[in-house]
Amino acid sequence: MSKYKVNKTFQEINAKIKSGKAVVVTAEEMIGIVKDEGPEKAAKKVDVVTTGTFSPMCSSGAFINFGHSVPGIKASRVWLNDVPCYAGIAAVDLYIGATEPTENDPLNIIYPGEFLYGGGHVIQDLVAGKPVRLRAESYGTHCYPRKFYEKTVRLSDLPYARLVNPRNVYQNYNCAVNLTKKTVYTYMGTLKPNAGNANYCTAGQLSPLFNDPLYQTIGTGTRIFIGGAPGYVICEGTQHNPNASRTDRGIPRTPAGTLMVTGDMKQMNARFLRGVSLLGYGCSLAVGIGVPIPVLNEEIAMRTGISDEEIVTQVVDYGEGYPKGKGESLAEVTYAQLRSGHITLNGKKVKTAPLSSYVRAREIAETLKEWINKGSFLLGEPQELLPGPAEK
């Protein structure tokens, strides 16, 4: 006997998607539905809730096979547009990481460094169909005698190019301020002295893991929107921490769950994959991801009805506390407060700014909704759910 009044399966929802009868709404639309009709009616009415996020996600990169030349090379060092790649895998395989700067980039020698081009930009250029210069070196072997290889390639020339991001879609993130007297340049953006601004970086109520906070539907094999194409959740991402402190509604108060995700670059769109340069910090890749949440029962309906008023995060000092490894919370704020344009910290009004594009997050949730409504995107039932919080 189920503990729920509404019980739906992935198969039933997929059958409805195929016959064009599934009811799909975005996470923003679901807030009003749950509020007006209650979780049970909402669960009966809605089959899928779509989410979205579009932010810099540093732990991103791509596995690329560039094909054998004649004569062949066992590439031991490879560069794409002068960005070093990891080549310690098979002869013509490589991994390019989003945060790898161009070789000979001045980095932070002239502070703050600009980091104008790096691995994330190479990925964006490839997806945009632009030519990219590939350079490979080797020590030469009997079977692969070539020691040097250089070629201009486009994504369409590459036999294999797959985005494999070890940590994306962070469930919650700190709100950063700077309490020192000097401007600091961080991965949370430029922070003015004396708490001159407070930067935050999630899509809040639209963000995938805030809508399934206890990982009741997401895991290995969940089909997702990634960089404009269909892709998959591989498993939990690096630093996945399900045991973070949570609110009564199960929302983590600090950074918690993460996803390792993948997708075929050849199907992607550069609108949803953007190389970024964070002043004084480094380069990265902004990734657009959307996860569909099947409304299997009234509990999941209730959870997808979460709004910015009920999602909290911690304000942390990135001027002194965080770099010293003592990033204790200065205050707890809601995403509704962050989105209002300012928060109050120690009695002082502090201007807030996002690093995550809410406009694009909304576009992703809408696009995913459209795909499902057209019947071209079915839900993937996870073979294993993400590790959840330890039983208390």
Partner 1 sequence: MYKKMIVLRFPPEITDQPLVCSLSREHDLCFNILKAKILPGQEGIMVLEVSGIKKNVTAGLRYLREHGVKVKSVSQEVRRKDDICFQCGACTAICPTNALYLDQETFEVKFEPELCKGCEFCIAICPVRAMELRFSHEKVLV
Using CB under 8 A as the criterion, which residues of the chain lie in contact with partner 1 when the complex forms? Answer: 54-56, 112, 114, 116, 189-192, 197, 199, 274-279, 284, 286, 339-341, 351-360, 362
Tell me which long-range contacts 82-89 makes (C-beta under 8 A, separation of at least 24): 82/133, 82/135, 83/117, 83/118, 83/119, 83/121, 83/122, 85/119, 87/136
Is the backbone peptide bond immediately before 112 cis, with ω within 30 degrees of 0? yes
15 vs 116 by CB, closer to partner 1: 116
67 vs 341 by CB, closer to partner 1: 341
Q: Are 96 and 61 spatial neighbours (Cβ–Cβ below 8 Å)?
A: yes
304 vs 352 by CB, closer to partner 1: 352
What's the min distance (Å) between Cβ of 258 and partner 1?
A: 20
Q: What is the 3-state secondary structure (H, E, C) of 114-174?
A: CCCCEHHHHHHHHHCCCCEEEEEECCCCCCCEECEEEEEECHHHCCEEEEEEEEECCCCCC
Compute the distance between CA of residue 254 and CA of residue 314 in angstroms, rounded to an integer: 6
Compute the distance between CA of residue 191 and CA of residue 321 in angstroms, rounded to an integer: 14
Catalytic-role residue among 58, 85, 143, 283: 143
What's the min distance (Å) between Cβ of 225 and partner 1?
A: 16
What's the min distance (Å) between Cβ of 352 and partner 1?
A: 8
Answer yes or no: 143 catalytic.
Answer: yes
What's the min distance (Å) between Cβ of 374 and partner 1?
A: 25
Compute the distance between CA of residue 47 and CA of residue 11 in angstroms, rounded to an integer: 12
Cα–Cα nearest to 51, from 385, 390, 358: 358
Tokens 């979460």 belong to 306
56 vs 294 by CB, closer to partner 1: 56
Compute the distance between CA of residue 28 and CA of residue 295 in angstroms, rounded to an integer: 15
25 vs 276 by CB, closer to partner 1: 276
What's the min distance (Å) between Cβ of 189 and partner 1?
A: 5
State the catalytic residues. 143
